[in-house]
């Protein structure tokens, strides 16, 4: 007979895989079940000595409170869901952390996941969180139709959209000033003498990409500069597509003298393209990037306040849960132009 089997036979009381219960704690501490419940839930009516014995029993047994019963009693799970586009994107790090800090301050657990910019995956993830009875949702939408959420919202699931608005439903949304930030960034290049300015952005169906393109066009129009189709390129933000777009804009008899990039991923690829250029080309990027101040020249950016986006959305969510909000609102967070050198380069010709 194998050694492992003989060891198991000698331990007929083995409880491997079974979690200790409040009854186990009560038996070890020599108190009633109600007393353990009071200690676990921080309720009054227990003497210090009794509380000490119960806490010692809890520690010795490795007991953890089962919140499932509390959910059934109170109708709340003390948890919220956060649906992001891409957990690996540096932009979402401070946003996610801010949501988590607000949730923690309200005694709630944060559960997050990534939609990978896929509308079906977003819906699947959101409904999975709802099935687990989260109290609320903070969603960065990948899709443009959120009517699937109407039954959940009517059932009491607080919902706030962040970075992009919801589609076909009336809901709270917290966004950056994408239009104003892009307009200011392009106007900055114009103020430094540029007239041939390229724009490379994300897919046009994405709200933020469309708003930044609109800001680019408005700045050029305000300056009386006609925009050539060859100066604009929107699509996936993969390095190959962005590299090809940048190289095409920089080629020919009348190349662009400056480029405005629509997000941090595009900016990183364009920086690599510009590093191989014989002439210096001005650059302003939407979104800040790590080490932007250490490059030569430093990268001028239109910076979003991702932490404020996350914090504002989460605070709005908990105000919904507290019953203090009735009418959905659109909250716009300002952007900030940070000049570091690349956006201040004059035209090469």
- Same domain assignment for residues 152 and 207: no
State the Cα–Cα distance between residues 117 and 115, nearest whole angstrom. Answer: 5
CB 199 within 8 A of CB 262: yes
User: How does DSSP classify residue 177?
Assistant: -
CB 43 within 8 A of CB 54: no
Q: How many domains does the chain have?
A: 3
pLDDT of residue 76: 65
Q: Answer yes or no: is 9 within a domain.
A: no
- Same domain assignment for residues 126 and 112: yes
Phi, psi angles (nearest 5°) of residue 112: -125, 160
CB 320 within 8 A of CB 158: yes
Q: Answer yes or no: is 340 within a domain.
A: no
- Same domain assignment for residues 165 and 312: yes
The token duo for 121 is 């995956």
Three-point CA angle 194, 180, 233, nearest 5°: 55
Q: Where do we find the tokens 């009491």?
A: 156
pLDDT of residue 75: 53
- Same domain assignment for residues 117 and 201: no
pLDDT of residue 141: 96
List the CATH number of the domain containing 151. 3.40.50.2300
User: 69: helix, coil or strand?
Assistant: helix
Taking every pair of Cα atoms in the chain, the longest distance, rounded to a whole number of angstroms, is 89
Q: Which of 337, 254, 330 is nearest to 302 (CA)?
A: 337
The token duo for 46 is 């227990």
Q: Which of 134, 190, 131, 183 is nearest to 159 (CA)?
A: 134
Of 220 and 326, the one with more pLDDT? 220
Q: Answer yes or no: is 345 within a domain.
A: no
CB 186 within 8 A of CB 284: yes
User: 138: helix, coil or strand?
Assistant: strand
Give residue-wise pLDDT tens across range 163-217.
999 999 999 999 999 999 999 999 999 999 999 999 999 999 999 999 999 999 9
CB 194 within 8 A of CB 219: no
- Same domain assignment for residues 284 and 296: yes
Do you know the residue count of the chain? 349
Give residue-wise pLDDT tens across range 237-253.
999 999 999 999 999 88
pLDDT band at 11 (very low <50, low <70, confident <90, very high): very low
The token duo for 12 is 């007929």
Least confident of 77-91, 96-110, 332-346: 77-91
- Same domain assignment for residues 170 and 314: yes
**pLDDT over 50 (residue 142):** yes
The token duo for 279 is 């002439």
Q: Answer yes or no: is 200 within a domain.
A: yes
**pLDDT over 50 (residue 50):** yes
Q: How far is CA 315 from CA 82, 158, 193, in A?
A: 13, 11, 43
Average pLDDT in the chain = 90
Q: Which domain holds residue 237?
A: 178-304
List the CATH number of the domain containing 60. 1.10.260.40
DSSP state letters, 303-331: E--HHHHHHHHHHHHHHHHTT---S--EE
pLDDT band at 152 (very low <50, low <70, confident <90, very high): very high
State the Cα–Cα distance between residues 228 and 252, nearest whole angstrom. Answer: 14
């Amino acid at each position: 007979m194998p050694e492992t089997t003989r060891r198991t036979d000698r331990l007929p009381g083995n409880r491997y895989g079974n979690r200790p219960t409040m009854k186990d704690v009560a038996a070890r501490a020599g108190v009633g079940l109600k007393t353990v419940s009071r200690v676990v839930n921080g309720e009054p009516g227990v003497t210090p000595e009794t509380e000490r014995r119960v806490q010692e029993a809890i520690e010795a047994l490795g007991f953890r409170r089962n919140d499932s019963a509390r959910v059934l009693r109170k109708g709340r799970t003390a948890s919220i869901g956060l649906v992001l586009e891409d957990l690996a994107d540096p932009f979402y790090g401070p946003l996610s952390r801010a949501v988590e800090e607000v949730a923690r301050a309200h005694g709630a657990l944060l559960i997050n996941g990534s939609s990978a910019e896929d509308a079906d995956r977003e819906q699947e993830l959101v409904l999975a969180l709802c099935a687990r009875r989260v109290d609320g949702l903070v969603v960065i939408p990948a899709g443009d139709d959120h009517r699937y959420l109407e039954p959940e919202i009517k059932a009491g699931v607080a919902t706030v959209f962040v970075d992009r608005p919801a589609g076909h439903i009336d809901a709270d949304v917290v966004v950056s000033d994408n239009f104003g930030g892009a307009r200011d960034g392009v106007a900055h290049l114009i103020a430094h003498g540029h007239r041939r300015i390229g724009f490379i952005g994300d897919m046009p169906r994405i709200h933020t990409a469309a708003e930044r393109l609109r800001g680019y066009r408005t700045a050029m129009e305000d300056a009386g500069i006609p925009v050539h189709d060859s100066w604009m390129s929107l699509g996936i933000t993969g390095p190959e597509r962005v590299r090809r777009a940048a190289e095409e804009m920089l080629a020919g008899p009348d190349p662009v003298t400056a480029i405005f990039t629509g997000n941090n991923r595009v900016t990183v690829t364009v920086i690599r393209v510009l590093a191989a250029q014989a002439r210096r080309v001005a650059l302003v990027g939407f979104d800040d990037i790590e080490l932007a101040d250490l490059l030569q020249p430093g990268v001028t950016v239109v910076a979003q306040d991702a932490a404020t986006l996350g914090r504002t959305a989460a605070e709005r969510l908990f105000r919904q849960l507290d019953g203090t909000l009735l009418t959905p609102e659109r909250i716009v967070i300002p952007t900030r132009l940070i000049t570091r050198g690349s956006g201040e380069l004059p035209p090469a010709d």
